[in-house]
Amino acid sequence: MGDPRGMLLSIACTLGGTWAFVTGFRALRTWRVLLDTPTARVRSMAMGMVELCGQVETRSDLRSPFSGRECVWWEVEISTLSGRSRGRQGWSVVHRKTSGQPFYLRDETGVALVYPHGANVKVNFTAEEMTHGLGVPEPYMEYMEQQGLGLRRMWALGAMRFRERVLEAPSRVFVLGRAFPRAMTREVSFSDIELAVTGTDGGARTSVGATRQGERDEDVRGVIRQGSGGETFLIGQRSEAELQLEYGVRAFGGLIAGPLLTLFGLWCALELARTGGWSL
Amino acid sequence: MHASEILWTVVIGFVLVGSVGFFLSIYNSLIEMKNNIGRSWANIDVLLKQRHDELPKLVSVCEAYMQHERAVFDKLSEARAALAKAAGVAQRSDAENQITRAIGQFFAVAESYPELKANQSFAALQARISELENAIADRREFYNDTVTLFNTRLEQIPDSWIADGMNLQAAELFKIDESDRKDVAISFKMSA
């Protein structure tokens, strides 16, 4: 019988190192884009890859599902405690959801509309709560019911972790994404009376939220969203310099440490094979 | 195959893949930056074209009011003629600075014609040209940032080795007019 611990370690190191090497290249690409794209101003931004800095502003009434905080973007994550070999335990994510509502980004020169769908949002967890089995608090259970999570009652019997990240207005953020021209809208009628005659809801235009939203949309200089082909799309509360450092470390860490880890894994495997420790 | 041979094969494999990948990432990013410079310049050009289209309208609105100001009209048309002959970024930026200066003088002179200032078409044109000037200034700054990043990369190692192989040349900055750099003399006449 071989050494299963050694075999597992060598396999984990070989695969992990190769994975780190591949992801190092992806981080290198993002790092290059961050380095090579100068920060533009909203007023004069050109269509294509842009980097903007500004304050986020709400476009629609949005509240985070767990804490009920007013925000422009949220992400929730539900994990259960899973048992692993040799008594070690770890959290495994069973549900993750992100809001997709667009929000405004304002700098000193104008307003842009950001569609966060598909973005890599760099925001720290703002709320985290753990339960220790036999039920979960009402708001979490309500959320799981709304989402139709079939295994919620079974999960609730064990320990669970609920995490939430929110981006609140008026936070200052850094956005790197593709700019598109804003969609053009045309008024077909200016009169609420005319709309009322047609049976449509003319009064809705004069409600506070609807009016404010329409006015801001007119000021929008462009729309920032994810480009095609998995292009870099970053939204972060950290500064550009911090993001450059993070991606630089990830890139060079992956490209240097990855191969070393793979070599170590292979060396372990070869040593095990030589000493007869690699057998089932 | 010995263990050491296997390990060396893997080392060489990683070095090869890593080197090729790293080289490609530099090559691609240099190409992307070169294209970004072209795009940034084209984005300035769009606004310059819009500003040029506004100038004849401005002249036609003001002609009736400023009949004794032949010199400012001449300067404006001279600047436009210089722009038509300009080729390359350096000459183009010189000609554009000349136009900016001529427009500034034009508006300064127009200040002394209250009837002209009250004209709605003139006010609209003035606002439109000012808006375009601001946007041009922003885009010029962006263009210069892009060029500076590109030129810096061309001088850095190992990018410079690859750039030499690609025969890439440093790009020209869109320079501002020397007269804009001069200090403005401000004097206050204080009564005793």
Token pair 């404010």 in the structure block, residue: A212
Residue A23 pLDDT: 92
* Backbone conformation region of residue A166, classed left if phi is above 0, alpha if psi is from -120 to 50, else beta: beta
d(CA A53, CA A37): 13
Coil, helix or strand for B75? helix
pLDDT at A209: 35
Give percent above pLDDT 90 in chain B. Answer: 6
B135 chain-A contacts, CB cut-off 8 A? 43-44
Interatomic CA distance for residues A233 and B110, integer angstroms: 48
Tens digits of residue pLDDT in A27-83: 998 998 898 888 888 887 888 888 999 999 988 888 888 888 888 999 999 988 876
- Confidence (pLDDT) at B183: 53
Lowest-confidence segment of A78-92, A222-236, B52-66 by average pLDDT:
A78-92
**A–B interface: beta-carbon pairs under 8 A:** 67
Among the CATH numbers 1.20.1440.20, 2.170.190.11, 3.40.50.261, 1.10.3720.10, which is that of B36-177? Answer: 1.20.1440.20
pTM for the whole structure: 0.74
The pLDDT value given to residue B99: 82
Answer whether A41 touches B (CB < 8 Å).
Answer: yes
Candidates A174, A168, A277; CA nearest to A234 is A174
Given a cut of 60, whether residue A84 has pLDDT beyond it is no
Q: Is A109 helix (H, G, I), strand (E, B) or coil?
A: coil
Domain boundaries, chain A: 45-235
- Higher per-residue confidence, A156 vs A62: A62
Output the DSSP codes for B157-172. TTHHHHHHHHT--PPP
B158 reaches A (C-beta below 8 A): no
User: Which residues in chain B are contacts of A263 at CB distance < 8 A?
Assistant: 7, 10-11, 14
- Rounded to the nearest integer, the mean pLDDT of chain B is 81
Angstrom distance (rounded) from CA A208 to CA B40: 40
Residues, chain B: 192
A276 pLDDT more than 80: no
Q: Please state the domain extents for chain B.
A: 36-177
Query: Token match 């591949």: residue?
Result: A22
Q: Write the pLDDT tens digit of every residue in B138-169.
A: 888 889 999 999 999 899 888 889 888 888 88
Whole-angstrom distance, CA of residue B54 vs CA of residue B132 = 10
Token pair belonging to A200: 């449509």
Judging by beta carbons within 10 Å of its beta carbon (0-12, 13-18, 19+), is residue B39 exposed, middle or buried?
Answer: middle
Q: What is the mean pLDDT of residues B12-22?
A: 89
B155 touching chain A per CB within 8 A:
no
Report pLDDT for B134: 85
Torsion angle defined by CA atoms of residues B173, B174, B175 and B176, in that order, rounded to the nearest 10 degrees: -150
Distance from CA of A127 to the nearest CA of B (A): 39
CA A38 to chain centroid: 23
Percentage of residues in chain A having pLDDT higher than 90? 24
Instruction: Express each pLDDT in B57-116 by its tens digit.
Output: 877 777 777 766 777 777 777 877 777 777 777 888 888 888 888 888 878 887 777 777
Neighbouring residues of A119: CB distance < 8 A, sequence distance ≥ 6: A177, A226, A233, A234, A235
Nearest-Cα distance to chain A for B160, in Å, is 15
